[in-house]
Amino acid sequence: MDASQARETTIQAYQLHASALSAYVRGLTRNEPLAQDAVQETFLRLFLTLMQGEDIKSTGAWLHRIAHHYISETLKSTTVRKAVSLDDAPEERLRDDRANPGSDRVSEWVESARLLLAPREWECVQLRAEGFDYTEIAEELAIRPGTVGALLHRATEKLRKRLRQRESPE
């Protein structure tokens, strides 16, 4: 979706859902400024999501979910002072100065992951990396969402173990 289409869709969604969403967030927060912020932020996120090319099936439900999440996160960050910022991303874990930088390193790692994982686990990881959620992966592979969770958990454990072995090869 290009920028003008995403803009138009967002504006239409605002005209259609903003009143109900405002009432919903006001009911949740009892705080007018926070409610206004939540509504604006929700529609800005809708625009960004559309720009990412994601297809939203039920816009109203999606908006309510995002607004709820935004309020919950905002209350969390104001309540819990020690909020963890995304700026604290574990840079040192992601960087491996010993390895070749750039795409060689990535493809080497991807290849080793493919060999390490069972075919079903690998399929799940690939779909997850493409941005699919558990339900979408389950539909794609014709399995239950719970099985997707189990497969991804197993795959993550294997990859973690391999990373630890690489970091301390004893």
State which amino acid sits at residue 3.
A
Say which amino acid occupies 163.
L
- Indicate the length of the chain as a whole number: 170
Task: For the beta carbon of residue 88, count every other beta carbon within 10 angstroms.
Answer: 7
Site for another protein in 89-108 (CB under 8 A): 89, 91, 94-96, 101-103, 105-106
Q: How many residues bind another protein (CB under 8 A)?
A: 54
Candidate residues 12, 40, 112, 165; the one interacting with another protein per rule CB under 8 A = 40
> With contact defined as beta carbons under 8 Å apart, do 19 and 67 qualify?
no
Q: Which is nearer to another protein, 53 or 170 (CB)?
A: 53
- CA separation for the pair 52, 149 (Å, rounded): 24
> CB 113 → another protein: shortest distance, Å?
13
Provide the minimum distance between the beta carbon of 10 and another protein in the complex, in angstroms, as a whole number: 6
Residue 57: Cβ within 10 Å count: 6
Least spacing, CB of residue 116 vs another protein, in Å: 19
CA distance 161 to 22: 47
- Binding string, residues 113-132; x marks residues near another protein by CB under 8 A: ---------------xxxx-
Residue at token pair 């239409």: 12
How far is it, in rounded angstroms, from Cα 140 to Cα 134?
A: 10
Positions in the binding site for another protein (CB under 8 A): 3-4, 6-7, 10-11, 14-15, 18-20, 22-24, 26-28, 36, 39-41, 43-45, 47-49, 51-54, 68, 71-72, 75-76, 79-80, 86, 89, 91, 94-96, 101-103, 105-106, 128-131, 133
